């Protein structure tokens, strides 16, 4: 079984709709992240969480919100979807105990979102 | 200017060729460096960390030049299965140790 899972894997929605993307992990990591990827722009950080009570905005948080329901679950919501939120969304986890030089991130399989 | 810059490619090489990618980063305080590999429509996966003294993992060699703020990845004896996008990733080393991703370099290995 995959260590980091995302649901749904693909989603088509209409402008103005509220949608939620979910992420679960079995790695036991304390840190979780949401990114979006657009062609040519690389991955950009939307929100991150270092534990259940810690939520932080990333580079491009406008139009998004998150919820850390448990250590293993981190959800991303688009309150009112718009077409320029069409992108590939990735959840990732990392383990702070691995030390700064070793701390890397493990990604889920991604959610492909199309906003019409 | 982007914090981490890469030539997007594509680099088209024949099987067996040696190919090198470079990446430059703008934050001189960056602490950790990585190369990730991303297959089409898949998630990024860690290929290797990059250490100051340079490091090798099989056919892959990574180098770091802190003075010039660039990172390189060398792939020897290219295989068809090496075809992918290679992401240069830099960590700020701060309390959050956040990662900044380059836009990626696409490699296509041809028979």
Give the distance from residue A113's alpha carbon to the nearest chain B alpha carbon, in angstroms: 12
* Average pLDDT for chain A: 91
Quote the tokens at residue A14.
Answer: 């209409």
What is the pLDDT at residue B93? 66
Stretch A93-101: mean pLDDT: 69
A and B: number of Cβ contacts within 8 A: 52
Could you tell me which of A24, A41, A30, A28 has the C-alpha nearest to residue A91?
Answer: A24
Quick: pLDDT tens for A21-40. 999 999 999 999 999 999 87
Looking at beta carbons, which residues of chain B come within 8 Å of A45? 98
- Tokens 């989603």 sit at which residue? A11
| CA atoms of A86 and A36, how far apart (whole Å) | 9
Give the distance from residue B16's alpha carbon to the nearest chain A alpha carbon, in angstroms: 28
Determine the straight-line distance between the first and last CA of chain A, rounded to whole angstroms: 33
Cross-chain residue pair A42–B43, CB shorter than 8 Å: no
Quick: pLDDT tens for B25-62. 998 888 889 999 999 989 999 999 998 888 999 999 99
Q: H or E element: which one contains A64?
A: strand A64-70
DSSP secondary structure of B12-57: EEETT--EEEEEEES-TT--EEEEEEE-TTS-EEEEEEE-TT-EEE
Looking at beta carbons, which residues of chain B come within 8 Å of A108? 43
The model's confidence at residue A102, banded by pLDDT at 50, 70 and 90, is low
Instruction: Specify the length of chain B in residues.
Output: 111
């Amino acid at each position: 079984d995959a260590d980091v899972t995302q649901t749904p894997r693909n989603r088509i929605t209409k402008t103005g709709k509220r949608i939620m993307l979910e992420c679960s992990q079995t790695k036991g990591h304390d840190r979780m992240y949401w990114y979006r990827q657009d062609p040519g722009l690389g991955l950009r950080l939307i929100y991150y969480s270092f534990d259940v009570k810690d939520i932080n905005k990333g580079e491009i948080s406008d139009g998004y919100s998150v919820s850390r329901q448990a250590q293993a679950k981190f959800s991303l919501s688009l309150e009112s979807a718009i077409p320029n939120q069409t992108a590939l969304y990735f959840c990732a986890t990392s383990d702070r105990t691995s030390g700064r030089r070793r701390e890397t991130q493990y990604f889920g399989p991604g959610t492909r979102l199309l906003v019409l | 200017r982007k914090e981490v810059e890469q030539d997007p490619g594509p680099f088209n090489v024949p099987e067996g060729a040696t190919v090198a990618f470079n990446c430059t980063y703008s934050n001189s305080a960056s602490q950790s460096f990585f190369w990730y590999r991303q297959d089409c429509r898949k998630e990024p996966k860690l290929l290797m960390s990059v250490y100051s003294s340079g490091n090798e993992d099989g056919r892959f060699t990574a180098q770091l030049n802190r003075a010039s703020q660039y990172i390189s990845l060398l792939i020897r004896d290219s295989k068809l299965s090496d075809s992918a996008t290679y992401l240069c990733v830099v960590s700020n080393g701060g309390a959050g140790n956040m990662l900044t991703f380059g836009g990626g370099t696409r490699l296509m290995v041809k028979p």
